[in-house]
Amino acid sequence: MKLLEKCKLFKNIKPEDIQTLLSAVHYRVLKYEKHQLIEYQSAPCDKLLILTKGVVIAEMTKLSGSSVKISELHAPESLASAFLFGDEQFYPVDITAQEDVTILRIPKSSVLKMFNLSQQFLSNYLDMISTRAQYLTEKLKFFSFQTIKGKLAYFLLKTASEQNSDTLIIKQTQSELADLFGVARPSLARCIKQLADDNYIEINRKEYKILNKRELASFLQYEDKLHK
């Protein structure tokens, strides 16, 4: 349980107060093996899940039957906490163990009790789901792009803004980027090569240098026209 001190839900809560909170409610500690399904998309979300050990991936199944990787979460982290309340209390994604993991399951009634017992816990929860909502809004905007060039241009320009530099360090591999974009890796590789051949970007392993921001931005303008 010591890892819970690093979880955003328990930010600024003393270790002894975390223990007091948990001792006042019901919860279960469950272990899952690598590749085991923890929760499936559209299953009822009636418990708070806190990943206390390991890594899980969240994938969304599209109508076509293909899956898109939404995120990879590392302990300590809460899972689908924004869906514990509201009209649609269902998991929006499949949650699968990427390795052997341990999860703390807290029933919704116990979470409500923890809100009453700790104002800091309630504040942390609200801050966290607000941040997640902002992230999902950004994700939806990303998936609205219909072309690979549009997705890649948006990703590079956004990363440049975040890193405050036109020379970017991209931690993801091309396979990981393809999963993030929801496209085939060879298609993404061809798109990256074309942008490099056209001198829009320059690549040196994980370092991407934007050479022509205006041309990259033009792909976003093209996307806007597609939606009109």
Indicate whether 138 pLDDT > 80.
Answer: no
**pLDDT given for residue 120 in this prediction:** 97
pLDDT tens across 162-185, in order? Answer: 899 999 999 889 988 888 787 889
**pLDDT given for residue 228 in this prediction:** 45
Q: What is the CATH number of domain 148-226?
A: 1.10.10.10
Phi, psi of 101 (to 5 degrees): -130, 160
**pLDDT given for residue 1 in this prediction:** 63
Residue spans in the chain of domains classed CATH 1.10.10.10: 148-226
Residue spans in the chain of domains classed CATH 2.60.120.10: 2-143
Label the pairing between strands 47-53 and 101-107: antiparallel
pLDDT tens across 72-101, in order? Answer: 899 999 998 889 988 888 988 899 999 999
**E strands within the chain?**
28-32, 37-39, 47-53, 55-61, 67-74, 77-79, 94-97, 101-107, 167-169, 201-204, 207-210
Q: What is the CATH number of domain 2-143?
A: 2.60.120.10
| pTM, rounded to two decimals | 0.64
pLDDT tens across 56-70, in order? Answer: 999 887 656 667 777
Cβ neighbours of residue 59 closer than 8 Å, sequence gap 6 or more: 67, 68, 69, 70, 93, 94, 96
Other C-beta atoms lying within 10 Å of the C-beta of residue 184: 11
